[in-house]
Amino acid sequence: MVSDRRGETGARGRATAGDAPPYAARLDPRTKLAVQTGAATLVLASPRAGLAVVAGLAVAACAAARVDPAAALWEVRPLVPLLVAAPVVEALTLGPPWVVPADAVAPALAAARLPPLYLLGVAYAASTTARESRAAVALLVPGRTGALLGAGVELVFRLLPSLRADLAAVRRAAAARLFDERGAVERIRVVGVTALRRAFRRADALALGMRARAFAANPTLPRLALARRDAPPLAIAAACFAAGVALA
């Protein structure tokens, strides 16, 4: 399982063990979720002005979480062709004039929304522990549903980094054995099957660990409490949400 501590340095720019925790790490996780909700509402309601505001907010969030935005975006560079393809395909027509640039504006704006929202999510993940996320979801969604959703969020937070590390290890091993010189189908088969085998092994280990620890839907979770430092982000979240609702 992945450690729950924030003190380790990761690819997304977390603080080192000797540093003071970043500002974002001291915020209540519900505050950070509120900021993401407000930003998403605004950027969906106002694709142009809202996009500029949310882009600035995303950069500020990355700074508050000590995350390098360029490094975070570089991790998802394989998705760039998909974002570019949407407006290009929309602009093409089957007859004269063949290309209508105005038709590409709406899908281009839709694609442009994703990077700032992704950066907000990265800042949240880099500054919030799995247990804090679980506690926040359990408090925001009442009853047993919230408890189960919170447990699912915690499991995803803990398991996904391990699965990504396994996939990277499989790809490195395949490259060391010169699998990149083989056909695409063979590479996909070897890497995919090996990665799935490791994923099932981790799932079995997780199930065994949950049974051994008498997993319950209502464990003791960290106490969450809003503080004065949460006021500015909450005000920003409320302003973004109100503007988004007004512009919708």
The average pLDDT across 127-137 equals: 89
- Percent helix, strand and coil across the chain, each to the nearest 5: 75, 0, 25
pLDDT (tens digit per residue) in 164-211: 888 888 888 888 887 777 777 887 888 888 888 888 888 888 778 777
- What is the residue extent of each domain of the chain? 1-128+228-248, 130-217
CA–CA separation, 155 and 136 (whole Å) = 14
Query: Which tokens belong to 111?
Result: 């694609």
| CA dihedral for 110, 112, 113, 118, sign (positive or negative) | positive
pLDDT exceeds cutoff 70 at 245: yes
CB 209 within 8 A of CB 9: no
| Reported pTM | 0.75
